[in-house]
C-alpha cells in the first residue's frame, strides 16, 4: 500500500530508494528486482515478520533443547583455529557469572573472525543454540563487546527481523542491514507530515488507535514488546478498512448510480409453477433467498447477488424461480455452467420443469458443431421465442445475441474468470441482473472479503426427506470389510464411486494411484458380475463424458475416478463414495466429493480410507468430516488449517495479498473494519463530509485497478 496520499506536492516517501544513505544505485537496482522496492515509501512498508527479544540475558544452565534464540554474557577464552582446509573452524568458549561455559564456533571466515576477537574481554553472544551429544554450542553468534557493564542498556533491544533474499544478502542486505536502512529512513521522517493521517479522528479515538506516524515508528523501532501490538493493530486495521471501504463503496455506488431492469410484477409463470408444479415444499431458507432476489430485482438497480448453499440445498430451483420472475416481466434468462456435463445436467433438469408452462429452454455448448442447431438457437434468442438458454462459456461468444436478457445465472462462479462473467453484461442495453451460485461454503469473514461488493444469500437448510450422509474413517486394515460392504450395496442395486488422488505413480509419494487401484478393484469385483468404469482428467472429453453417462444410466456398478467428479453429474442411485488416501485431500475437496452421493432417497455413505500413519492435521480433517455434514462448519476448520489464500484459490487471492493483516488470525479486526466502513457510507455515501475527506483522498491515491469487470465480484 502506497503511504503517499498527497497528490499535489512531492512527498518525501516518493523519493527513489537509491537516494537513501546506505543504498546507492547498485543496491537500489537489486532492491527493485528482488523486492519490487523503488521508493522510500516501499521501504517503509517492508514490515518485520517477527521480533527477537534481546532484553534478557540467559545463563548457560538455562539453555534447553526448546531454546530458540538466546543471549549469554561472559568472558571469552582464547579463540583457537581447529582443523585444515574446508574442515577448518574457529572455536572459543564464553564463561558466564556462574562459571558455566558454552562453545562459540565459526565455520566460515574463521581466520578473519579470529583477528577481531579479544581474549579475556566480556561479550554478549546472541544466537540459536545447537545441541550435539548433550552439549550446546552457538554457531556463528552475533557478538557485542561490553566495555562498561554499568552502561549496558537492554530495555530497548527488541530486534525486528525482515524478509530478504539470497541475492540481497550477497549485497550485504541481510535482515540486520535492512533494519539499519529502515532506521535511517524513519529517523529522517516528520511523522505527522510525511506520513499523513488517513483515518478520521473520531475512529482513532473510539478504538484507542495510535496515530499513523506513531504506528509506523513503533513497528520498525519498538521501544519494548508492549508497543508492537498497538502499532501492528493500527496498521492491520487500516489495511482491512480500506479494502472493505473499497468493496462497500463499489456496492454503494452501484445502488446509487447503476440503472438496472425493474421486475415490477410476480406473474403467471412464477405463480403457476409455485402453486401447481413445485416437486416439493420449499425450505424456509429457499423462501428467504427468493424474497431477497425479488426485493433486489424490483428496485431498479442492477442486482449482483451471491447465493451460497451446500451440495443438495436446492440452489437450482431458486435460480429457476428467479428466471421465471424475469420471464414474467418480459425478459429472457440464461444459466452458465463451467463444464458441458454440468450444463447438460442443468438443461435436463430445467427443461421438463418449465415446458408444461409453454416455455422454451435451449442448450448451447462448445462441442455443438451443427450449424443448423446453432442457427435455431440464435434465431430463438433474437426473436424472444427462447426464454431460457443453458450453456457453458459458449454463451459469452459475440455471436450469441439475446432479444432482451434480464437475468444471468452463473453456476460455480469460482470456475470462471471475472472478465468471462462480465461479458454477460454486454448482452443487453441495460446490464442484466446477475445471480452467482456456489456450492462451496465460504466462512463469513472470507466471504465479506472476496465478495464484499456482492450481496450474499445463504441457503443453510437441506430439503426435507434428505437423509444425512453417514461418514466413516477406516485404516487400510479394514479393506476386506469395506469391500464386503460395497458388494452388499451393489447387490441392493446401488452404485459406488471410488476416488483416488493421483493418476500415475509418483516417485515421491507413496499414495495409492488410480491405475493401480483400478487393477486391484477389477480383481476384487470381477466381470461380468461387476462392471467398472474409469474417469480421469487426462482422458479426452468425449471418452470421459461417455463413461460418466454409462454410470448415470446404471450400466456400470463402480466408477473409479480422480477429482474430475468433484463437480459432476447427479446420479441419485449412487449411494457410496469411497475416498482413497483421504489424508491427501483438503477438507473442502472431501466435502465436495461427499456431495456426489446422497442425491436419492436411500441412505448414502462416505468412506474415508487412509494409511496407518496420518498426521495430526490429517486426523483433524478426518474427524471433522465424520463429525459434521455442515459445509460452513467444515469451511471454518479448513480456513483455520490452510489459511484464507489457499481456500480462495488463485483467481481471487489477489484480494488477500495484504502486507500485515491475516483474515484468519485477525477476524475481529476484519469485522470491525467492515462495520466501520458500512457505518461511514450509511451516513455519508459520497464521502463529502469534511471528516471523511482524507478517506476519499486515500482511496483515490491507492489507485486500484478498477475496471468494469471488478463489479461482478
pLDDT at 644 over 70: no
How much is the pLDDT for 354? 93
Q: What is the pLDDT of residues 347-402, one digit of tens each?
A: 988 999 999 999 999 999 887 777 888 889 889 999 999 999 999 888 888 788 89
**What mean pLDDT do residues 520-532 have?**
92
**pLDDT computed for residue 706 by the predictor:** 41
In a 13 Å sphere around the CA of 182, the CA atoms on its Cβ side amount to 28
Average pLDDT over every residue of 477-482? 94
- pLDDT value at position 653? 44
428 by DSSP, 3-state: which?
coil
SS3 139: strand
Q: Pairing state of beta strands 89-95 and 80-82?
A: antiparallel
Cell numbers given for 499: 476416488
Looking at the predicted structure, is the pLDDT value of residue 421 above 80? no
Q: How many helices (H) and strands (E) does the chain have?
A: 24, 23
Q: Where are the beta strands (DSSP E) in 100-177?
A: 101-106, 122-127, 130-132, 135-139, 142-145, 158-161
pLDDT at 301 over 50: yes
**pLDDT tier, 99 (very low <50, low <70, confident <90, very high otherwise):** very high
3 state DSSP class of 319:
helix
Report all structural domains of the chain as residue ranges with CATH numbers, in order of start: 56-154 (2.40.50.140), 268-459 (3.40.50.300), 470-628 (3.40.50.300)
Q: Which phi and psi angles does 84 have, rounded to 5°?
A: -130, 160
Bridge partner residues of 577 (DSSP): 497, 606
pLDDT at 650: 37
Alpha carbon separation from 596 to 543, 638, 691 (Å, rounded): 20, 20, 53
pLDDT per residue over 262-291, tens digit each?
999 999 999 999 999 887 889 999 999 999
DSSP 282: P
End-to-end C-alpha distance for the chain, whole angstroms: 21
Handedness of CA 455, 460, 462, 467 (dihedral sign): positive
Mean pLDDT of the chain: 85
pLDDT (tens digit, 9 = 90+) per residue, 584-619? Answer: 888 888 998 898 888 777 899 999 999 888 999 999
**pLDDT tens readout for residues 220-234:** 999 888 899 999 999
pLDDT of 703 over the 70 cut: no
Provide the sign of the torsion angle of the four alpha carbons 607, 612, 614, 619, taken in this order: positive
| Segment 468-487 mean pLDDT | 94
Asked if residue 597 has a cis previous peptide bond (ω within 30° of 0), the answer is no
Average pLDDT over residues 302-320: 87
Look at 672 and 712; give whichever has higher pLDDT.
Answer: 672
Q: What is the pTM of this model?
A: 0.70
Band of pLDDT at residue 1, cut at 50, 70 and 90? very low
pLDDT at residue 652 in the model: 42
Return the closest-CA partner of residue 537 out of 570, 514, 511, 510. Answer: 514
Please report the pLDDT score of residue 633 as a whole number. 87
Residue 307 has pLDDT above 70, yes or no: yes
Q: Report residue 505's pLDDT band, with 50, 70 and 90 as the boundaries.
A: low
Amino acid at each position: 500500500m502506497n503511504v503517499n496520499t498527497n497528490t499535489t506536492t512531492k512527498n518525501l516517501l516518493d523519493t527513489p530508494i537509491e537516494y537513501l544513505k546506505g543504498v546507492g544505485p547498485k543496491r537500489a537496482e537489486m532492491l527493485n528486482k528482488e523486492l519490487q522496492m523503488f521508493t522510500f515509501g516501499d521501504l517503509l512498508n517492508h514490515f518485520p515478520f517477527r521480533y527477537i527479544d534481546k532484553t534478557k540475558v540467559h545463563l548457560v544452565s538455562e539453555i534447553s533443547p526448546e531454546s530458540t534464540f538466546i543471549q549469554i554474557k561472559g568472558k571469552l577464552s582464547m579463540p583457537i583455529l581447529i582443523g585444515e582446509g574446508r574442515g577448518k573452524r574457529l572455536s572459543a568458549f564464553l564463561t558466564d557469572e556462574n562459571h558455566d561455559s558454552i562453545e562459540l564456533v565459526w565455520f566460515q571466515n574463521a581466520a578473519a573472525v579470529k583477528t577481531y576477537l579479544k581474549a579475556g574481554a566480556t561479550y554478549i553472544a546472541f544466537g540459536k543454540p545447537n545441541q550435539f551429544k548433550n552439549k550446546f554450542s552457538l554457531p556463528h553468534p552475533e557478538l557485542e563487546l561490553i566495555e562498561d557493564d554499568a552502561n549496558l542498556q537492554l530495555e530497548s533491544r527488541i530486534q525486528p527481523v525482515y524478509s530478504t533474499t539470497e541475492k540481497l544478502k550477497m549485497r550485504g542486505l541481510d535482515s540486520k542491514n535492512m533494519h539499519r536502512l529502515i532506521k535511517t529512513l524513519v529517523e529522517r521522517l516528520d511523522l505527522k507530515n510525511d506520513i499523513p493521517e488517513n483515518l478520521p479522528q473520531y475512529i482513532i479515538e473510539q478504538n484507542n488507535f495510535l496515530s499513523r506516524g506513531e504506528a509506523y515508528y513503533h513497528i520498525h523501532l519498538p521501544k519494548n514488546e508492549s508497543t508492537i501490538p498497538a502499532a501492528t493493530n493500527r496498521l492491520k486495521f487500516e489495511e482491512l478498512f480500506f479494502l472493505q471501504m473499497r468493496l462497500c463503496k463499489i456496492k454503494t455506488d452501484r445502488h446509487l448510480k447503476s440503472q438496472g431492469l425493474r421486475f415490477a410484477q410476480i406473474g403467471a409463470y412464477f405463480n403457476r409453477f409455485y402453486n401447481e408444479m413445485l416437486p416439493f415444499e420449499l425450505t424456509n431458507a429457499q423462501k428467504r433467498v427468493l424474497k431477497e432476489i425479488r426485493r433486489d430485482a424490483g428496485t431498479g438497480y442492477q442486482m449482483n447477488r451471491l447465493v451460497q448453499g451446500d451440495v443438495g440445498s436446492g440452489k437450482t430451483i431458486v435460480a429457476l424461480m428467479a428466471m421465471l420472475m424475469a420471464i414474467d416481466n418480459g425478459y429472457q434468462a440464461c444459466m452458465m455452467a463451467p463444464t458441458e456435463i454440468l450444463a447438460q445436467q442443468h438443461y435436463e433438469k430445467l427443461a421438463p420443469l418449465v415446458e408444461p408452462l409453454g416455455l422454451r429452454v435451449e442448450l448451447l455448448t462448445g462441442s455443438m458443431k451443427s450449424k443448423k442447431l446453432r442457427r435455431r438457437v440464435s434465431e430463438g434468442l433474437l426473436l424472444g421465442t427462447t426464454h431460457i438458454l443453458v450453456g457453458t462459456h459458449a454463451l459469452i461468444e459475440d455471436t450469441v445475441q439475446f432479444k432482451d436478457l434480464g437475468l444471468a445465472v452463473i453456476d460455480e462462479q469460482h470456475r470462471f474468470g471475472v472478465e468471462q462473467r462480465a461479458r454477460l453484461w454486454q448482452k443487453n442495453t441495460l446490464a442484466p441482473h446477475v445471480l452467482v451460485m456456489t456450492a462451496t461454503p465460504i466462512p463469513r469473514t472470507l466471504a465479506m472479503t472476496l465478495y464484499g461488493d456482492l450481496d450474499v444469500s445463504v441457503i443453510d437448510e437441506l430439503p426435507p426427506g434428505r437423509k444425512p450422509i453417514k461418514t466413516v474413517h477406516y485404516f487400510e486394515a479394514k479393506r476386506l470389510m469395506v469391500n464386503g460392504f460395497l458388494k452388499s450395496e451393489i447387490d441392493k442395486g446401488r452404485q459406488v464411486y471410488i476416488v483416488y488422488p493421483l493418476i500415475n505413480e509418483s516417485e515421491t509419494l507413496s499414495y495409492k494411484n488410480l491405475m493401480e487401484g483400478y487393477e486391484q478393484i477389477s480383481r476384487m469385483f470381477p466381470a461380468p458380475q461387476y462392471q467398472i468404469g474409469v474417469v480421469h482428467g487426462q482422458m479426452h472429453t468425449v471418452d470421459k463424458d461417455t463413461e460418466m453417462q454409462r454410470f448415470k444410466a446404471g450400466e456400470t456398478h463402480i466408477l473409479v475416478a480422480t477429482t474430475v467428479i468433484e463437480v459432476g453429474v447427479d446420479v441419485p442411485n449412487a449411494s457410496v463414495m469411497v475416498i482413497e488416501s483421504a489424508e491427501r485431500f483438503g477438507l473442502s475437496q472431501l466435502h465436495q466429493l461427499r456431495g456426489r452421493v446422497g442425491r436419492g432417497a436411500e441412505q448414502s455413505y462416505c468412506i474415508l480410507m487412509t494409511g496407518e500413519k496420518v498426521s495430526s492435521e490429517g486426523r483433524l480433517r478426518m474427524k471433522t468430516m465424520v463429525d459434521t455434514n455442515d459445509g460452513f462448519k467444515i469451511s471454518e476448520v479448513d480456513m483455520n488449517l490452510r489459511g484464507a489464500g489457499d481456500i480462495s484459490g488463485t483467481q481471487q487471492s489477489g484480494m488477500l495479498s495484504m502486507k500485515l493483516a491475516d483474515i484468519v488470525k485477525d477476524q475481529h479486526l476484519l469485522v470491525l473494519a467492515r462495520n466501520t466502513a458500512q457505518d461511514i457510507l450509511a451516513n455519508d455515501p459520497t464521502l463529502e463530509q469534511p471528516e471523511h475527506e482524507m478517506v476519499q483522498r486515500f482511496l483515490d491515491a491507492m489507485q486500484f485497478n478498477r475496471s468494469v469487470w471488478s463489479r461482478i465480484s
